[in-house]
Amino acid sequence: MSGPSPETERERRLRELAGRLLAHPSPGGPTTAELFLAELPPDAPPDLIVPGDLDLFGSLARRRDGQMTGIEVILDGTKPVSEFLLAYERDLESHGWRRFEPFQRHPGGFEGGFQMGPTAVFVNEKAVSALWIAARGVEGGRTEVGLRYDRENAANMMNNMSGPGREPPGWDMLPELRSPPGVNVQPQGSSGGGGRWTSEARAQTEMAVPEMEGHFAKQLVAAGWTRIAGTADETTGWSSWDVPDPGNWRGFLLVVSPFTGWRSMLLRVETIAGGTGGWSSTISAHR
């Protein structure tokens, strides 16, 4: 098998032009940008973990005084966004990364899929680096993933991370749920306390209730939940779940069609060994 064709002078100049256009001024001094097609920079740091089950489209290396300051990576695949994120998060955690939580409350349930900006941000305290992850479904059932590896802002981010607090039991037990492709899910708020936490949402869609309940149920299974019972018809779909956390927690998923063309969703975790206190949040979403 023959190797890749050598780069032509035109291709080299185009790559150099793109690199110059992508370079940007920085308070720390001039930076350079260099593009790589279907590969990572040869001096990519070892703590940059790239998903092995996606196609590497290309990367961009940013340097100052010859030292790497950041890398951007574009990948393509067929795995649904929610499945990719769960698997990739486990891989990152096994290599010393942890999710960056700028706020005390974990954006679980249907709010998890509504967060503005990147899909997730991770930090590696040993390497003093940060990783932004943006994943979205595109045409043809494919998933596009963008990674931004950063060494310039990681130290400040970690200095501003929230310290340990006294959160009520179950505050972080609602897994993030992502919308079905092409469906605009509008979060309707979350609430909890006293051993029960709930997230609600609605969507204007003709997607069948059983199909929508199944879409969210797959994400619960991927999060480690175990289905106990459930059923679905054209107006109502529900399922009960065993939640794999200490404290005898159970979960409940509900999808209903109150009006033609509308779906309402609810996700709840509950335990009989509840605590005290409560919390609530309301998010207004506009189409």
* Count of CB atoms situated within 10 Å of the CB of 78: 12
Single out the residue of 98, 94, 86, 89 nearest to residue 158, CA to CA.
Answer: 98
Strands (E), the chain: 32-37, 55-64, 67-77, 98-99, 120-124, 129-138, 142-150, 185-193, 196-204, 226-232, 236-242, 249-256, 262-271, 278-281
Percent of the chain with pLDDT over 90: 35
On average, the pLDDT of the chain sits at: 80
pLDDT tens, position by position, 96-147: 999 886 544 455 677 654 443 456 889 998 989 999 898 887 777 788 899 9
The pTM (predicted TM-score) of the whole model is 0.54
Q: What is the pLDDT of residue 92?
A: 95
Q: How many residues does the chain have?
A: 287
If pLDDT is split at 50, 70 and 90, which confidence band does 26 have? Answer: low
Which H or E run includes 39?
none
pLDDT tens, position by position, 33-92: 888 989 999 999 999 999 988 999 999 999 988 889 899 999 999 888 778 888 899 999
Q: What is the pLDDT of residue 283?
A: 30
pLDDT tens, position by position, 84-103: 888 899 999 999 999 886 54
CA separation (Å) from 141 to 4, 6, 212? 29, 33, 17
Q: What is the pLDDT of residue 168?
A: 57
State the average pLDDT over residues 8-12: 85
